[in-house]
Amino acid sequence: MFRRLFPVAAVFAAVLATSLTLPTAAEAATYPKPQLSRWEPNFKLRAKQLTASWQSPWNSTSAAKSLVPSWNVSTMPDGSWLIVQARVKNAKTTTKWKNLANWRHGLSGGKRTTYSKQSDSLVWVDTDVVHARTGKSFTGWQIRVALHRKNAKVKSPILTGVAAVASTYTSKTTAVSKTTMTKQVDLAVPAYSQMIHTGHFPKYGGGGQAWCSPTSTSMVLRYYGLGPTAKQYAWAKGPDRTVDHAARYTYDSAYRGTGTWPFNTAYASRFGTEAVVHRLPDLRSVESFINKKVPVVVSVAFKKGELSGAPISSTPGHLLVVRGFTKTGQVIVNDPAGKTNSQVRRIYDRAQFERAWLRGSGGIAYVIAPTSMGLTF
């Protein structure tokens, strides 16, 4: 169920070195709000083109430490794929384009993969995230997406959305946010346990016990009545076979897992959704989406005793679905680590949960909604 140590083991150790108690005044510092930019290019290849690129303008940002991209593709036949790249700059340096992802919906013609182990004097790449080097930051960034197809007989993929979120942090500690809720809201998100898929298709990241991310993505898609058809997941066995489908089609051959954040949102986009990887500042932002009837997938990390009632004692990275809030602001979730579907829905303490989320991943969230909603991210 691990997403990965974020950003790496040293940071994770620092993040979890203190318990989930109220922060000190020094800890409760003000952090600049993450900056999300998004475009809807509806970009595709012309009649005889085998490749062409869409490129964002330069985006200005506060002294950023990280950049997380995401993209949506409504149509991507076998024999087509895309390459996602990013570059950043500050007053002294403009980096070269960094390959971030080779994405394809299908299984034929190549591997779905990210590109870690790239670095220069300003940044380094960890799976799907561009990080500034220690002591450095960047103030501008660009995204470029190149569409490809094997030959002109293959229909063009259609790039419907491109986004990236820049932030000055990848982990933060603040005082617990005050709830905006005046009544309980609990969205009817179906409950899927990743654990009932234990041992299924271990070639996709180890099997169901590691599939927190695609299980969470599947729950949100099914909440909207979306996702693969029975014919599309007929190859899978057992209950909730949409989870197996999501695991197969989000698998990252370089990361060797199914937890690559933008691979999950890109997967969701093939089923008529707009989906972004966001970095939200606090649970009040999640409440805003819940009040719009939009469940949110979030990434948490915690040590033993730091999240009361969790089905696992600790984790360096775990994805779950926030489906609602009580009137007092406690967090209602579908935690896929529950042993059975009936043990997935849980209510977590607001302060403990917010700390596990903001410290563990810096507020990473998948926001997924049907295109017809016209959601503002």
Same domain, 146 and 77: yes
Q: What range defines the domain where residue 104 resides?
A: 34-167
pLDDT number for residue 25: 42
User: 308 in a domain, yes or no?
Assistant: yes
Same domain, 134 and 67: yes
Domain total of the chain? 2
Same domain, 151 and 201: no
pLDDT at position 373 is 96
Q: Same domain for 152 and 202? A: no
- The domain boundary residue, chosen from 132, 167, 202: 167
Going from the first residue of the chain to its last (377 residues), give the mean pLDDT of each consecutive group of 10, the final group possibly shorter. 40 38 49 96 97 98 96 96 98 97 90 94 96 97 98 97 97 95 98 97 95 98 98 94 98 97 98 98 98 98 98 97 98 98 98 98 98 94
Task: Based on the fold, state whether residues 152 and 200 are members of the same structural domain.
Answer: no
Residues 312 and 354 in one domain: yes
Q: What is the predicted pLDDT for the residue at 22?
A: 42
Q: Does residue 214 sit in the same domain as residue 332?
A: yes
pLDDT for position 117: 87
Determine, yes or no, domain membership for 363.
yes
- Whether residue 4 lies inside any domain: the answer is no
Same domain, 256 and 156: no
Label residue 180 left, alpha or beta by phi (over 0 means left) and psi (-120 to 50 means alpha).
alpha
Q: What's the token pair of residue 274? A: 């707009």
Q: What is the DSSP letter of 327?
A: T
Question: Rounded to two decimals, what is the model's pTM?
Answer: 0.93
Coil vs helix vs strand at 88: strand
* Same domain as 128, residue 195: no
Q: How far apart are alpha carbons 37 and 165 in whole angstroms?
A: 6
151 shares a domain with 244: no
Among 106, 138, 167, residue at a domain's last position: 167
Give the per-residue pLDDT at 109.
78
Query: How far is C-alpha 230 from the chain's CA centre?
Result: 25
Q: Does 151 share its domain with 200? A: no
Q: How far is it, in rounded angstroms, from Cα 282 to Cα 272?
A: 28
Query: Nearest 5°: CA angle at 262, between 307 and 276?
Result: 85
Residue 13 counted as domain residue: no
- Backbone φ and ψ for 109, nearest 5 degrees, come out as 85, 0
Using DSSP's 3-state secondary structure scheme, residue 144 falls into: strand
The rounded distance, in Å, linking the Cα atoms of 22 and 19 is 9
Cβ count within 10 A of residue 97: 13
Backbone angles phi, psi at 138, to 5 degrees: -130, 155
Same domain for 332 and 369: yes
pLDDT at position 224 is 98
Domain harbouring 154, CATH code? 2.60.120
Element (H, E) at 351: helix 350-361
What CATH number corresponds to the domain at position 363?
A: 3.90.70.10
- Residue 29: predicted pLDDT: 61
How crowded is residue 281: how many other Cβ atoms within 10 Å of its Cβ? Answer: 18
Of the residues 138, 167, 196, the one at which a domain ends: 167
Total residue count of the chain as it appears in this document: 377
In a domain, 24, yes or no: no
